Amino acid sequence: MIHERERPGAGFYAAIATVVILGYVASLGPACWISSRCGHGAHVVSAIYWPMFRPFPPVYGDKSTALRAMIWYSELFAAQDWNWGPHGRLIEVIEPESFLRVVDEWSWEGPRDFRKHGGVI
C-alpha cells in the first residue's frame, strides 16, 4: 500500500517563522559591523533594520533595556564612532534661518566627514 506524504503541520511553520525571526534579529550585529568596517551601506542597514527600532522613539536619555541591548550588540565589533542615532528632517520655522529638527527614526551612522559636509555637521 502506498502512503501519501503528509503535509507539514502548524508546528513546522511556527518553527520556520521562529528561525527566520531569530536570524533577522541575530544578523543586526554583523550587518552593522560589516558596514562600519567597509564604510558603506549604512543607509541599507538603517532601511533593513528600522522595524526593530521603530517601537522606540529616538528620545535622548530615555532608552529601554531592549533598545540599549540592540545598540550595544550593534556597536560590539563596529568601527570606532559608528552608532545608532536619531535621524530626522529639518522643518522651517517662522524665520527663514530657523529650523526645527523633527526626529522620527533611528539610523546607523558613521563619523561625519567635515570636508564632505562643508565643515558643518
Which grid cell sits at 37? 568596517
- Write down the domain spans for the chain: 10-109
Residues of the chain with pLDDT under 70: 1-3, 58-62, 87-104, 112-121
Q: What is the predicted pLDDT for the residue at 97?
A: 57
Cα–Cα dist 120/99, whole Å: 15
- C-alpha span between 70 and 67 (Å, rounded): 5
- What is the pTM for the complete model shown? 0.71
For the segment 1-16, what is each residue's pLDDT rounded down to a tens digit?
566 778 899 999 999 9
